[in-house]
Amino acid sequence: MSAGNPDYRDSGLVFPKGFTFGSATASYQVEGAAAEDGRLPSIWDTFSRTPGKVWDGDTGDVACDHYHRWESDLDLMAELGLDAYRFSIAWPRIVPTGTGEVNQAGLDFYSRLVDGLRERGIRPVATLYHWDLPQPLEDAGGWPVRATADAFERYAEIVGSALGDRIHTWTTLNEPWCSAYLGYGQGGHAPGRHEPAAALAAVHHLNLAHGRAVQALRATSTGSPEYSVTLNFHVPRGEGPDAAEAVRRVDALANRAFTGPMLKGAYPDDLIADTAAVTDWSFVREGDLTAIAQPIDVLGVNYYSTVTVRMWDGVSPRETHDGHKGAPEGTAWPGSSDVVEFLEQPGPHTSMGWNIAPEALEQLLGSLGEQLPGLPLMVTENGAAFDDAVTDDGRIRDEERTDFLRRHLTAAHRALAAGVDLRGYFVWSLLDNFEWGYGYAKRFGIVRVDFDSQERTVKDSGLWFRELAATGVLPR
């Protein structure tokens, strides 16, 4: 870790020329128009309509109404001086049944969006899957079955052919950790299943979908896009006599279950051993690992907070503070849930209850740089939810969020200074939006959305980020 201001509250740091400053959103979280122009339900439509699953019964039916307001939202991005916009494509708009007919109206929407971005000089960074699986695919088994990876490959061919002449960066998956473990193990995310073996099968089929999609996008894109995947890396801190063992187990499940096959062509032996009582991994077929390990141009890194882990003594009440609210009967840690415990993290925290630890971002980027030499990195999500207040003059003085961004951008800069090949930083999120199980109760935006009027107001953090994007220098 570098020396310097110990609290990571720097200013005046100069980012390299060409460093990307962008913002990110995801389809179900912002678009709304859930039943328009041929879109059919995804697993998140079903889940959010299931009583008790999402705070206050919120759904993405309207969200930020971005589907109708995309032009003014792009104008807003241009006013903020963003270099790039990371959005996701809703699979249920493109192939509404998952395997059937292609919906041209869905492709047209993203085609207009991409053109609109390019007209404004903003690079389109498109994610194919940010969790909105067409419901019929879940009805047929979801990510635990191989056919979902087949359907994803076809979907990738379709979007590659339609948009691959204009996309700057293709990202196959966003945070497959969440799709697999929260969706099928712990149950706090759609489809809300609690099946540890299915969660591990989902890990593999998501990995396979990634590799097949990279190949399909490469075969169909006529421009010269970059290819990437975004992972939400866990930074585990160990406690207790077997701290290293607890850290190793969490790292295997959360990080190396994806980087192993995607970037090194193999599942880690220790992951297979740790999960042996849950599954025999027979869903991995010959040729899969070759299909998965496709070369990519950049690795997307999402980072918010750390976890503190300890081997459980088997006697005291087991602690499960891994930062994700889920069903009590589920676990996001198949094979390790009975041996590892997640301790409550010391503050300060954001309003998600996540601890603020910028030094861990520096550590993570440094460690990835060492593990994956030659692979450029991009922070594709980082940001914070706080309970914003609008003052009488209409301003949102979200000092805590600006402070969070400052500290994490300082961490990113320190990683750069240490030689990490970091290409950019996307703030999560452009807009307050549908925060999954927390509905609209948690606000991550640098732009406030009034969900009654749909009015957008740039928060003070957004003005600060605009200055950063304009100058490339960390503002005061």
Q: Could you list the active site residues? A: 175, 381
- Which is closer to ligand IFM, CB of 29 or CB of 259? 29
Q: Which of residues 139-168 bind ligand IFM (CB under 6 A)?
A: none
Residue closest to 170 by CA, chosen among 125, 216, 232, 131: 125
Q: Which is nearer to ligand IFM, 250 or 430 (CB)?
A: 430
Question: What is the pairing mode between strands 456-458 and 447-449?
Answer: antiparallel
Question: What's the min distance (Å) between Cβ of 88 and ligand IFM?
Answer: 9
Nearest to 465 by CA among 395, 393, 394, 383: 383
**Which of 289/352 has CB closer to ligand IFM?**
352
435 binds ligand IFM (CB under 6 A): yes
Provide the 3-class DSSP secondary structure of residue 207: helix
> Does residue 302 touch ligand IFM according to CB under 6 A?
yes
Instruction: List, in sequence order, every beta strand (DSSP E) within 213-339.
Output: 226-232, 236-239, 298-302, 307-311
443-462: which residues touch ligand IFM (CB under 6 A)? 444
CB atoms within 10 A of CB 120: 15
CA distance 210 to 152: 9
Q: Report, in Å, the least distance between residue 230 CB and ligand IFM.
A: 9
CA dist 74 and 305 (Å) reads 29
Among candidates 171, 177, 9, which has minimal Cα distance to 87? 171
Nearest-approach distance from CB 32 to ligand IFM, in angstroms: 16
Work out whether 177 is an interface residue with ligand IFM (CB under 6 A): no
- Binding characters for ligand IFM, 258-297, by CB under 6 A (x = yes): ----------------------------------------
Residue 322 binds to ligand IFM (criterion: CB under 6 A): no
* Residue 31 near ligand IFM by CB under 6 A: no
Binding residues with ligand IFM: total (CB under 6 A): 8
CA distances from 261 to 251, 257, 369, 474 (A): 14, 7, 18, 37
Q: Is 306 in the site for ligand IFM (CB under 6 A)?
A: no
Residue 432 touches ligand IFM, criterion: CB under 6 A? no
Nearest to 268, CA basis, from 283, 250, 287: 250
Q: Is 362 in the site for ligand IFM (CB under 6 A)?
A: no
Rg (CA), the chain: 21
Q: Which is nearer to ligand IFM, 58 or 175 (CB)?
A: 175
Question: Shortest distance, CB of residue 178 to ligand IFM, whole angstroms?
Answer: 7
* Residue 428 contacts ligand IFM per CB under 6 A: yes
Sign of the four-CA dihedral 119, 377, 386, 131? positive
Residues 6+ apart with CB under 8 A from 90: 27, 28, 31, 39, 42, 106, 132
Query: How far apart are CB 432 and ligand IFM at their closest, in Å?
Result: 11
With binding defined as CB under 6 A, does residue 26 bind ligand IFM?
yes
Nearer to ligand IFM, 400 or 435 (CB): 435
Residues making contact with ligand IFM (CB under 6 A): 26, 29, 175, 302, 381, 428, 435, 444
